[in-house]
Amino acid sequence: MTPRKHQPVVGQARPHKGRAWILGGSVMAVIVASPLLAIAWIALFPSENIWPHLASTILPRHSWNTLLLMIGNGIGVFIIGSSTAWLVATSDFPGRRIFEWALLLPLAVPAYIVAFVYTDILEFAGPVQGLLRDIFGWQTKRDYWFPEIRSMGGANFVMSFVLYPYVYLLARAAFREQSASVLEASRTLGRGAWKTFFTVALPLSRPAIVVGTALALMETLADFGTVDYFAVNTLTVSVFDVWFGMGNAGGAAQIALVMLAFVVVLVSLERIGRRGRRYHNTSTRHTSSRFQLLGARRWLATTLCGLPILIGFLIPAGVLTRHAIVFFDESWNAAFFGFARNSLMLATMAAAVALAIAVFLAYGRRLSNPFFGVLSRIALLGYAVPGAVLAVGVLIPFATLDNAVDGLMRDWFGVSTGLILSGTVFALVFAYVVRFLAVGFGAVEASLGKIQPSMDMAARSLGAGPSRTLWRIHLPMIRGSLIAAATIVFVDSMKELPATLILRPFNFDTLATHVYQFASDELLEQSALSALTIVIAGIVPVILLSRAITNVQSQRRGAPSIGAIPTLTPAVPAAGAGD
């Protein structure tokens, strides 16, 4: 390990060549950030100053609830994600090969559906309490105590088991990439597995785990469906009360901005805390041997890894399957295929576009200066904005552009072009990209960062421009991360609901909106087939993702030409989900 203070900026070698990339990247970043800028614009014009009323009434409690939920979910995803990742990455126990990909499965289940399912199971009328009543002869709710699922604890439980895969995915990659020598040195020096984990592996993987946790927390902050269902009043609920209840868009936008500021502060604090402590590996010899767990420990590991899959995936998917079978005849019709087609189409497009922009921005950053860095960071904040708010943010630039074009055409040629982009599939894809770019970008940027700048310099000195270097050198090298990034954006887009509802064209349903129509009336059973399809459509890419990662790993092992290059681990390494 060599501590490094500065990283070379690649673009400095040939400052002129990268300009097109930086200019293009800046334009792209501004376009992606435009919904957020629109929200900031709205915030300048509140219909009345909402803060005195809010501060003296709901704001303290809603802020406190938001904080509690974030702390709870943060701890939850950290523990579940990093412990399972550690076991899978470094140990051998029954079922490990299956767990490697199966631990990603909860990613495919929308959180609000998991919330519905667990409410059904754990509420008073559900099978668990019913069984307890039968056994103990209790009659009413007043006879005994049972934890209330519709509560802060319930929201924590559900969200932790749905969001932990973000941490798992990144932490596992980080643990795998730690050079074996570091871990072995630690063991040789007399530290046990536990001590090695806490004093060596965990600090080394801190950036990766932080990125994963930050993603989970941003998702927590933006969530409305789950907290609304569980009656946990967070700041998101305040935003909606002020906007759609009191009709004060400006006031609501101000609250949303405060929430964003919260995220920025959180991320900056972590960066400051980590400053000056960059860990770089000098060797990439991957851990080739795993700890062989023995006896009861083997099965303990199996149980630990099995539990999140059971809770986050098997139970919800099982319940959905049962409902889907019962209502199969009603659900399996032409309309269903239409919903599925729409969902797949939108998610595929969103994944492709988000990936392209992520590559563009990440490569721009590699070539460029801190200013561009700030710009691209703003473009990533969409992930922490509640979907319905973001949707209104998307409406504004699109409608403004459409109406401006229409106005010009009317003035000059006397024809109306109407709305060209608003209310189209294009607006939906754009919204998904703005919302989920952060997820894809993290993976691409980190992975790109791991490539030695000397590779760029070699390529460039041999006459290749920045584009050619990217196409022939970088993209093939980071393909694992590209696939990972595209997969996560795809899966998240399949699940997206609030922005889809507001922005969609006429007569246009996705699987998610179809499910919502019924689920919002406590009639989830009738749309269980669609819900299950969202899950299945999510599983396929998740499994592909996992296989792709394994392939890349094995190819690397067999290809010393890449594996032998001393890697320069960046400040945020392992968002390189794909490696």
CA distance 86 to 83: 5
DSSP at 147: -
Q: Does 113 bind another protein (CB under 8 A)?
A: no
Q: Work out how close the CB of 376 gets to another protein at its nearest, in angstroms, rounded to a whole number.
A: 22
CB-nearer residue toward another protein: 486 or 574: 486
Q: Does 342 bind another protein (CB under 8 A)?
A: yes
276 CB-near residues (< 8 Å, 6+ apart): 3, 5
Q: Work out how close the CB of 73 gets to another protein at its nearest, in angstroms, rounded to a whole number.
A: 20
User: 455 in helix, strand or coil?
Assistant: helix
Q: Does 244 bind another protein (CB under 8 A)?
A: yes
Q: Are strands 291-292 and 91-92 parallel, antiparallel or unpaired?
A: parallel
User: 559 in helix, strand or coil?
Assistant: coil
Per-residue burial over 401-422, b if 16 or more Cβ lie within 10 Å, else e, is ebeeebeeeeeeeeeeeebeeb
Site track for another protein across 482-501, x = CB under 8 A: -------------------x
Judged by CB under 8 A, which stretch of 7-15, 69-77, 282-290, 472-480 contacts another protein?
472-480
* Assigned token pair, 549: 């990662």
Q: Does 245 bind another protein (CB under 8 A)?
A: yes
Residue selected from 181, 283, 369, 403 as contacting another protein according to rule CB under 8 A: 403
Q: Which amino acid is it at 208?
A: A
CB-nearer residue toward another protein: 456 or 525: 525
293 CB-near residues (< 8 Å, 6+ apart): 91, 92, 93, 301
> Count residues contacting another protein (CB under 8 A)?
70
8 A C-beta contact, residue 439 and residue 488: yes
CA distance 411 to 409: 5
* Assigned token pair, 148: 């209330």
CB-nearer residue toward another protein: 200 or 388: 388
Q: What is the dihedral of CA 442, 447, 451, 456, to 10 degrees?
A: -60
Q: Does 567 bind another protein (CB under 8 A)?
A: no
Q: Does 505 bind another protein (CB under 8 A)?
A: yes
Site track for another protein across 197-236, x = CB under 8 A: ---------------------------------xx-x---
8 A C-beta contact, residue 319 and residue 121: yes
Q: Does 561 bind another protein (CB under 8 A)?
A: no
Residue selected from 311, 367, 502, 528 as contacting another protein according to rule CB under 8 A: 502
* Assigned token pair, 134: 């039968």
Q: Does 556 bind another protein (CB under 8 A)?
A: no
Residue selected from 283, 517, 550, 553 as contacting another protein according to rule CB under 8 A: 517
8 A C-beta contact, residue 267 and residue 70: no
CB-nearer residue toward another protein: 289 or 507: 507
Is the Cα torsion angle 167, 175, 381, 356 positive or negative in sign?
A: negative
Would you say how long the chain is, in residues?
579
Q: Work out how close the CB of 459 gets to another protein at its nearest, in angstroms, rounded to a whole number.
A: 15
Using a 10 angstrom Cβ sphere, with 0-12 exposed, 13-18 middle and 19 or more buried, the burial of residue 452 is: middle
Q: Does 520 bind another protein (CB under 8 A)?
A: yes
Site track for another protein across 149-188, x = CB under 8 A: -x--------------------------------------
Structure-token match 């007399």, residue found: 190
Q: Work out how close the CB of 62 gets to another protein at its nearest, in angstroms, rounded to a whole number.
A: 9
Three-class secondary structure assignment of 224-274 = CHHHHHCCCCCHHHHHHHHHHHCCCHHHHHHHHHHHHHHHHHHHHHHHHHH
| Binders in 276-315 for another protein, by CB under 8 A | none
Judged by CB under 8 A, which stretch of 84-92, 98-106, 164-172, 238-246 contacts another protein?
238-246
Site track for another protein across 127-156, x = CB under 8 A: ------------xxxx-------x------
Site track for another protein across 53-92, x = CB under 8 A: xx-xxx--x-------------------------------
Q: Work out how close the CB of 388 gets to another protein at its nearest, in angstroms, rounded to a whole number.
A: 6
CA distance 430 to 398: 10
CA distance 7 to 453: 9
Q: Does 121 bind another protein (CB under 8 A)?
A: no
Contacts with another protein by CB under 8 A lie at: 53-54, 56-58, 61, 124-125, 139-142, 150, 230-231, 233, 237, 240-241, 244-247, 249, 341-342, 345, 348-349, 352-353, 388, 391-392, 395-396, 398-400, 402-403, 406, 416, 418-419, 422-425, 471-472, 475-476, 479, 501-508, 513, 517-518, 520-523, 525
